């Protein structure tokens, strides 16, 4: 049965009892990708995210050494509250674990970046069928030939997700997803995969393939795997991310662009 309350899901993850994806849970709240880097590289990564807001919409950044996302979930701890983590050393996957307290350092900065899980719930609510959701499979992801705008050591192609969408619903999903700039926003491409350098839709670089029906067209969105791929390529001495699909679940309502906290409230 799906969990509805983010704090409950985080507590289960904190005691190591949540195994697997967070997809389909807490549909009313934003989920986020995690990228943790040394402070030395953090401004450079912030520059990359600011220059590439479609793949890298910044939800929150924490000050060096502080594992509490004060705006996104003030009672959370980013070292324990995700189901799983990946640890990269010199750009290579070195470890997978369920807790990063022993790796935490005073100079580590955490970035929370928007996730398409936020966005998929909104499409489903509007009556758009999403094949990967129906099949409980992981959305297919492809390395496109769309170049990100580089920032220092961070550069590389954009990773995109693909969802087959009924031709008659393309205008609807464009309009709907444009309202979620904090979760990748409008599509980056609609139609011919080869136009963005994707040779075969049945061979995704990540996730599971899905067929595209006769009355459907492939629709491509910027993907939150992009910053991880780019950060791997930069070969930092240490980078920690979430385990793909096992996101950080925030307290931020799905629709809200700005964060909670008095600095952001509208009257």
Interacting residues toward its own copies by CB under 8 A? 39-40, 42-44, 46-47, 49-55, 58-64, 66, 70-71, 109, 146-152, 158, 178, 181, 185-190, 222, 257-259, 261-267
Q: Which is nearer to its own copies, 124 or 196 (CB)?
A: 196
Cβ-based nearer residue to its own copies, 98 or 187 = 187
Distance CA 156, CA 170 (A): 28
| Distance of closest approach, residue 241 Cβ to its own copies, in angstroms | 17
Nearest CB to its own copies, comparing residues 97 and 170:
170
Q: Which is nearer to its own copies, 23 or 183 (CB)?
A: 183
CA 76, 10, 62 angle in degrees (round to 5)? 30
Dihedral class, residue 146 (left if φ above 0, else alpha if ψ from -120 to 50, else beta): beta
Q: Considering the complex, what minimum distance in angstroms separates the CB of residue 47 from its own copies? A: 4
Residue reference for tokens 């662009």:
257
Strand partners for 248 = 32
Provide the token pair at 162: 């693909």
Go through 166-193 and write b for each residue having 16 or more CB atoms within 10 A of its CB, e for each that does not. Answer: eeebbeebeebbeebebbbbbbbbbeeb
| CA 238/CA 119 separation, integer angstroms | 30
């Amino acid at each position: 049965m799906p969990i509805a309350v983010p704090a409950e899901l985080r507590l289960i993850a904190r005691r190591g009892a949540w195994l697997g994806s967070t997809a389909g849970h807490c549909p009313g709240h934003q989920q986020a990708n995690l990228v943790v880097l040394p402070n030395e590289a953090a401004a450079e990564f912030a520059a990359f995210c600011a220059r590439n807001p479609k793949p890298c919409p910044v939800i929150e950044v924490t000050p060096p050494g502080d594992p509490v996302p004060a705006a996104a979930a003030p009672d959370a701890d980013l070292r324990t509250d995700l189901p799983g983590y990946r640890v990269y050393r010199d750009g290579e996957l070195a470890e997978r674990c369920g807790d990063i307290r022993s790796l935490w350092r005073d100079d580590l900065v955490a970035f929370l970046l928007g996730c398409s899980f936020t966005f998929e719930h909104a499409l489903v609510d509007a009556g758009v069928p999403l094949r990967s959701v129906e099949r409980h499979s992981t959305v297919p992801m492809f390395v496109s030939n769309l170049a990100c705008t580089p920032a220092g050591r961070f550069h590389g192609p954009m990773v995109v997700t693909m969802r087959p969408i009924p031709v008659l619903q393309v205008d609807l999903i464009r309009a709907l997803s444009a309202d979620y700039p904090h979760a990748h926003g409008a599509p980056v491409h609609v139609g011919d995969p080869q136009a963005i350098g994707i040779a075969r839709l049945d061979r995704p670089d990540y996730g599971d393939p899905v067929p595209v029906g006769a009355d459907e067209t492939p629709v491509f969105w910027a993907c939150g795997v992009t910053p991880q791929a780019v950060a791997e390529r930069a070969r930092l001495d240490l980078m920690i991310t979430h385990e793909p699909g096992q996101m950080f679940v925030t307290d931020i309502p799905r629709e809200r662009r700005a964060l909670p906290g008095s600095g952001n409230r509208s009257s």
